[in-house]
Amino acid sequence: MSKKAAVMKGDGIGPEVVDSMLKVLKECNLQSELILCEVGSEQWEKNGRKDKSYIPDSTMKILEESDCCFKGPTTTIPVPGAPRSVAVTLRQKFDLYANIRPTKTYDRLTPNRKLDCVCFREATEGLYTGVEVKITDDAAIAIRKITRQGSRRLLNSAVDWANKFNMKKMVAITKRNILKETDGIFWDETQKAVEGTGIELSEIYIDNMAQQMVIATEQFNGSVLVSTNLFMDIISELASALVGSIGLIYSANIGDNYAMFEAAHGSAPQFAGQNKVNPTATVLSGAWMADYLGEREIRDAIFDATDKVINEGKAVTWDIGGDATTTQMTDAIITYAKENLRK
């Protein structure tokens, strides 16, 4: 029997870029079954805000019966009492502890700057547990929870990635001079994870890391960057900017038994319906999902095709120096991907 993936189109530009991804996978003859389902704040609003979650019960049932899922960009309404984000909800639900963002520059976009690293972000702990307490009308506290188990499993998965892709350096991003207990646990587990692996380990404080990423970018080539939830949220966004556009950054949230794939960017409702946004991040996330479902050749074909399209620059969107529509860039990727599969 073929494997199954639930696909959620999301809000804003989500439906457009997810349709691009679905078209690419279809044209590449993906054999796994893709099941569409609703999620996000737009459907929550339409339903009168009565649900406790942005994920309807019917969608959750499909998710539970699937091997993995794809989440299009979704909007999280920033008001007290609104549901938690779809991404955070699913990370917690399926224990998707490793948020992974491979980050690589393209020759045409940044000819004078090369970056090729991967960001491993712990995705179930830290400040994103959402434990907050209002003390008075003028003060509140948030709890940053770090555990050895949570740190250990993230770091073991990062070491597995390093071994799989022959990466010899690991950089732990902390603020251990201030957060002695929580980052102390994370650093201790990082040291244990690399013992006997031959991986070169270094530690950089978050504030210095932000500076180093900008002024000496290439020192991180070939590195696995690891950190707790909030710190890596920030650094992975910075790394995305160095590549040239957040529209290029794909990601996955992976646990022991399930995975969620998504573009790193948000729902950008101001661009919805204009057929102008970059489909790359969503298309590459979908290609990674194909690999997870056991169809590695489709992933390889799509990655190579996307690289060619971006470096040629003939059919690319406005954010990376072109004037192509979302549809035109998608079709260009399909053309090269199908050629690769015929070889």
pLDDT at position 78 over 90? no
pLDDT at position 1 over 70? no
Query: Domain spans of the chain?
Result: 1-98+249-342, 110-243
Say what the pLDDT of residue 246 is.
87
Q: Based on C-alpha coordinates, what's the Rg of the chain?
A: 20
Please tell me the least confidently modeled range out of 57-61, 128-132, 185-189: 128-132
Say what the pLDDT of residue 228 is.
97
CA distance 91 to 85: 10
Nearest of 1, 74, 61 to residue 35 by alpha carbon: 61
pLDDT above 70 covers a percentage of the chain that reads: 100
pLDDT per residue as tens digits for the range 280-326: 999 999 999 999 999 999 999 999 999 999 999 999 999 999 999 99
CA dihedral 43, 248, 19, 321 (to 10 degrees): 110
The pLDDT confidence band at residue 128, using thresholds 50, 70 and 90, is confident
The pLDDT confidence band at residue 258, using thresholds 50, 70 and 90, is very high
pTM for this model (two decimals): 0.91
CA distance 247 to 277: 8
Architecture of domain 1-98+249-342: 3-Layer(aba) Sandwich (3.40)
Residue with more model confidence, 230 or 83: 230
Mean pLDDT of all residues in the chain? 94
Nearest of 218, 266, 248, 238 to residue 173 by alpha carbon: 238
CA distance 141 to 214: 32
Same topology for domains 1-98+249-342 and 110-243, yes or no? yes
CA distance 100 to 202: 19
CA distance 330 to 335: 9
* DSSP letter (8 states) at residue 128: G
- Residue 51 identity (one-letter amino acid): D
pLDDT per residue as tens digits for the range 52-77: 889 999 999 999 999 999 999 998 88
Query: In the CATH hierarchy, which fold is given to the domain comprising 110-243?
Result: Isopropylmalate Dehydrogenase (3.40.718)
Helical H segments across the chain, by residue range: 14-27, 41-46, 57-64, 86-94, 148-164, 182-194, 206-215, 229-243, 280-292, 296-312, 326-342
